C-alpha cells in the first residue's frame, strides 16, 4: 500500500489511482526519510504558521523575513533562519505535501498546513515521529546485526537506545524512550500530541457508541454500586475522562480517575489524578471499577509487558467490570505505526487473534470488538 493510499484510507477517501511506474513509485517511497528530517526544522521556525498567517503565496525570502522578525520580537537570543535553509525546507515540505509550491520560489498553505496550525497536537506528533521515530528507524538494522538478529526488542533496549549507546551516551541508552524524552525536555511536547493526536473524529463517547458499544450500560452502577466509574490508565491530561464527564455529568471527579506515571503531569482539573506504575510491585490500586480504559497504551508495550499490565487489572476487576482497549486495527493502513511502535517501544499493533491470545493469558475474555 503506497503512502498516498494509506493517507486516503486514514481519511476515509477513495484510494488515488496509481499513476507512477513501479520504479518511480519505489524511489518516491524509499527516498522519503531524509525529507522527514526537515520537518522539525519547519516546526522550529514556525514555517507552517507563517504561511497560514501570510494568507497568500510567499517567497522563501518573505517567509524568512517574517520568521526573523518574530525571533527578534521574542528577544531570546535565538539563532535566525537563513533564506537558503527556508527555501530548501519549504521545497521539501511541498514534496511531502505539507505545503503548496506555487512556482519555483513561491509557497502557500494548503489544507494540511492549515490543519497542522489549527490542531497544534499534530505538529507535536510530527516532531515525535521525525525526531525519536526517525532516529530509531535509522538504527534498527544496526541493532539487529550487532545482536545476531535478536527479536523482538525489549521496551528499553531497542534501536533508539542502541543509537545512544553507539553515540557514547550510556545514561540515555539505559532509559525507556519516554524517560529519554523527559531527560531531553521533550515530554511536554509528547503530552501535547496525545491530547489531540493528528486528528480526532468526535469525542470518546461518540466514537465508541458509533462502533456499537453500549457505554451507558458499562458505566451504570447496577452491577457495581459505590465503585469508581472509570479508570483511564495512561490517560495523560485527562481529556478522555473529561469527554466522558461532559456526556455523563452525574459522574463526579472522584469517580473518574486518571492513572499516570509522568513527571510532566501533576494535576488534571475536573478528574482525580493518581500515580501508578504497573511495572512496580504494587497491584492495581482501584478495585472493582466499572470500566478500566486503555487508549493507545498497549501498542506501546511488548507482549509480556502487555500481559503483565492486563493481569494486574484483571485481578482488580469485579464481576461487572469491563476493560476498554482502544487500539488501531492491524491492517495495511497502520503498517507505519506498527513499525514505529516496534522501533520506539518494542510494542506493536495486534490482530484480533493476538488480542484473544493475550486475553486468554490474563484470565480475560473478549466480549466486544470493532474494526
- Residues noted as catalytic: 299
C-alpha span between 115 and 67 (Å, rounded)? 20
* Cα–Cα distance, 364 to 248 (Å, whole number): 27
Helices (H), 152-234: 159-166, 170-173, 177-183, 187-196, 204-210, 215-219
Q: Give the end-to-end CA distance of the chain in Å, rounded to a whole number.
A: 19
Residue 113 grid coordinates: 498546513
- Pairing between strand 291-295 and 100-103? unpaired
Rounded-to-integer distance, Cα 131 and Cα 223, Å: 46
Most distant CA atoms of the chain, gap in Å? 67
What is the strand order of the sheet 230-233 is part of? 272-275, 256-260, 230-233, 291-295, 322-326
> CB of 119 within 8 A of CB of 54?
no
DSSP state of 371: -
C-alpha cell at 149: 538478529
Amino acid at each position: 500500500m503506497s503512502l498516498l493510499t494509506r493517507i486516503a484510507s486514514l481519511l476515509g477517501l477513495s484510494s488515488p489511482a496509481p499513476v507512477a511506474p513501479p520504479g518511480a513509485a519505489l524511489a518516491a517511497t524509499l527516498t522519503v526519510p531524509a525529507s522527514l528530517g526537515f520537518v522539525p526544522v519547519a516546526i522550529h521556525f514556525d514555517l507552517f504558521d507563517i504561511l497560514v498567517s501570510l494568507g497568500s503565496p510567499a517567497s522563501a525570502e518573505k517567509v524568512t523575513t517574517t520568521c526573523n522578525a518574530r525571533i527578534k520580537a521574542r528577544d531570546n537570543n535565538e539563532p535566525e533562519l537563513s533564506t537558503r535553509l527556508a527555501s530548501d525546507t519549504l521545497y521539501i515540505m511541498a514534496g511531502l505535501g505539507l505545503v503548496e509550491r506555487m512556482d519555483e520560489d513561491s509557497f502557500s498553505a494548503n489544507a494540511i498546513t492549515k490543519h497542522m496550525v489549527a490542531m497544534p497536537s499534530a505538529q507535536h506528533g510530527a516532531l515525535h515521529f521525525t525526531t525519536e521515530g526517525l532516529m530509531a528507524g535509522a538504527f534498527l538494522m544496526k541493532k539487529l546485526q550487532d545482536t545476531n538478529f535478536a527479536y523482538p526488542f525489549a521496551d528499553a533496549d531497542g534501536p533508539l537506545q542502541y543509537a545512544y549507546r553507539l553515540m557514547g551516551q550510556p545514561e540515555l541508552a539505559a532509559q525507556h524512550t519516554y524517560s529519554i524524552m523527559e531527560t531531553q525536555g521533550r515530554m511536554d511536547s509528547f503530552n501535547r500530541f496525545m491530547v489531540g493526536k493528528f486528528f480526532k473524529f468526535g469525542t470518546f463517547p461518540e466514537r465508541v457508541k458509533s462502533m456499537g458499544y453500549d457505554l451507558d450500560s458499562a458505566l451504570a452502577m447496577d452491577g457495581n454500586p459505590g465503585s469508581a466509574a472509570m479508570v483511564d490508565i495512561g490517560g495523560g491530561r485527562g481529556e478522555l475522562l473529561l469527554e466522558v464527564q461532559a456526556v455523563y455529568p452525574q459522574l463526579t471527579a472522584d469517580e473518574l480517575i486518571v492513572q499516570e506515571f509522568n513527571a510532566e503531569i501533576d494535576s488534571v482539573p475536573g478528574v482525580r489524578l493518581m500515580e501508578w506504575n504497573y511495572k512496580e510491585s504494587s497491584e492495581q490500586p482501584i478495585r472493582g471499577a466499572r470500566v478500566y480504559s486503555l487508549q493507545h497504551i498497549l501498542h506501546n508495550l511488548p507482549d509480556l509487558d502487555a500481559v503483565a499490565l492486563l493481569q494486574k487489572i484483571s485481578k482488580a476487576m469485579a464481576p461487572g467490570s469491563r476493560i476498554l482497549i482502544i487500539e488501531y486495527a492491524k491492517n495495511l493502513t497502520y503498517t507505519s505505526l506498527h513499525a514505529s511502535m516496534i522501533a520506539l517501544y518494542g510494542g506493536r499493533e495486534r490482530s484480533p487473534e493476538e488480542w484473544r491470545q493475550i486475553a486468554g493469558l490474563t484470565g480475560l475474555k473478549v466480549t466486544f470488538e470493532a474494526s
